[in-house]
Amino acid sequence: MNQLSRKYMVGLAVMSGLLLAASFPPVPTGITAFLGLVPFLFLMESMRSTWQAFRYSYMTFLIFNIFTIYWVTGYDMGKDPWLFAAGVAVILVHPLLFTIPGVLFYKVTRHLGQVVALATFPFIWTAYEWLAQLPSLSFPWLVLANSQTYDIDRIQFIQYTGALGASFWIVGINVLVYVLIVKMGLKHWDFRTPKFYLVAVALLLSVLLPASHGRYVLNQKSYHKTVNVGIIQPNIDPYEKWSSEPGARMKLLRTLLTAYEALGKRKELDLILLPETAIPFYILEQTYLPQKQLLQETVNRVGVPLLTGFPDIQYFTEDEAPAGARKLPGDSGLRYESYNSSMLVLPFSPQVQVYHKMKLTPMSERVPFIEIFPFLADALSWGVGISNWGVGQDTTVFTLPGKDYGRPIRTWAMICYETLYPEFVAQFVKRGSHFLAVITNDGWFGKTSGPYQLQRYTVLRAIENRRAIARCANNGVSCFIDPFGRVSQATELYTKTTLVGKVPLMQETTLYTRWGDWFARLCAFGTALLIITMFIYRKQKRL
């Protein structure tokens, strides 16, 4: 390969990576996603070996990752070198997963031809995005569907297919654009060629049909009863709040409860939200009984249920302990797991409802495969001492009294990163959640793209399940999202504020809620058949 052609390859990789990155929030349009894979397809057309396809795929998606999730290293390396190192590792490792569809596309092109490869590429890509959500290393931040959260009139169909159906749609349009450019550029087709009209009509319908469906859906009004939800965005420094001084902890709790009490004076409120780990100590432990009593007494006095994030802890004997559980100091023989948790505190109720976070951020919240390498639990930890959370095993859906509604009201608060898992979220809607909440703490990442991206991705969960969402963030962005993905009252980053909004209660379930990632599974099945066909063809060709 000469120098000019190498520059050409690198240029295509960089162009594709930048176009994809430019389609993600906070850029308020996802239009470049529909062109982002076109240079990549030209690039794969030029590959001459599997190794070359792997290298240039990695280069393409490394550029994509760097410009989209640069913020995972944290905005202040000096405050936590471990967070910085973990972020760098994510940026370098994550593009390796993206090489899978690229290499497979190259293989299919080589053995079954370009027509088959192009026709099946949307299936390959969708199957990859679905499978990439399954293992411990999953980090589904850059699912292509996540680029479309500002254009909600075009993605209402994900109530049937889930977000991965939107990824299929995006890749399909990229393929159609690529085919038109190639065929017209090489003068294989002109405006009189029937195949040109076939592809052009397919492209036009791919754009118009989702938009028409979306406008129709958005004109429908199917809201039922509502609950009044208050959101407290306390804007507390996420590093400083983990102080180990008992006096500092009580001071922080009093600050939070003062904000809660002030907001709770609005007697019409049915629920108030505090963000992820708003209470940064094991308040349910006997050691913190005064703090727990103060919390319950305040909720009793205000009379409004409080849903807040906090860390929880469980103790195990050596025989009962899950892999990765830490040893208690001394010779007690006990082990423990800490959990990133949420709890619902009801007025005059001794029973606190608790949920332990089940989807944890790789590296930052839990070292992947720590079950196999438990010694890493003590070897690696954040500077703020909250790494290696345990994986929750419960499926708690919180129950509010709902005395004004004739029946109990059920909700679930996804914690931060859990927002990224469509089928996981749908399971809690299927269990009866009438609306959803999000509690999160994005303050680690400064005024970067990260907090805006996670906030916008929540739009997809609302549309998929037709559930309204109240989002409470420590430093922002807090907001309300209706069942059709429309965002209201979005706050600014790093501001102390409160919100009050009416949140619709929904009972109907969507096709996606009931069936989950059925469409992605069909794509995975089709991709598996494609791989089998390719191997059979290769074997027959060798005979």
Residues annotated catalytic, as ranges: 276, 357, 416
Give all strands (DSSP E) within 353-408, no chain letters: 353-356, 398-400
The residues pairing with 500 across neighbouring beta strands, listed in sequence order, are 230
Interatomic CA distance for residues 120 and 110, integer angstroms: 14
How far from 248 is each of 215, 252, 405, 491, 495, CA to CA, in Å? 52, 6, 40, 27, 21
For the chain, the distance separating the N- and C-terminal CA atoms, rounded to the nearest angstrom, is: 32
Q: Which residues of 385-406 are buried (b: 16+ CB within 10 A; e: fewer)?
A: ebbbbbbbeeebbbebebeebe
For residues 493 and 441, give the distance between their C-alpha atoms in angstroms, rounded to a whole number.
11
Q: What is the three-state SS of 502-527?
A: EEECCCCCCHHHHHCCHHHHHHHHHH
Q: How many angstroms separate the CA atoms of 491 and 273, rounded?
A: 15
Going by C-alpha positions, the residue among 53, 68, 58, 159 that lies closest to residue 109 is 53
């940064």: which residue's tokens? 280
Strands 271-273 and 306-317: parallel
Q: Pairing relation of β-strands 469-473 and 479-481?
A: antiparallel
The dihedrals phi and psi of 309, each to the nearest 5 degrees, come to -85, 150
For the CA atoms of 296, 297, 300, 306, the dihedral, rounded to the nearest 10 degrees, stands at -40
Question: Is beta strand 271-273 parallel, antiparallel or unpaired with respect to 435-440?
Answer: unpaired
Q: 344 - beta bridge partners?
A: 307, 353
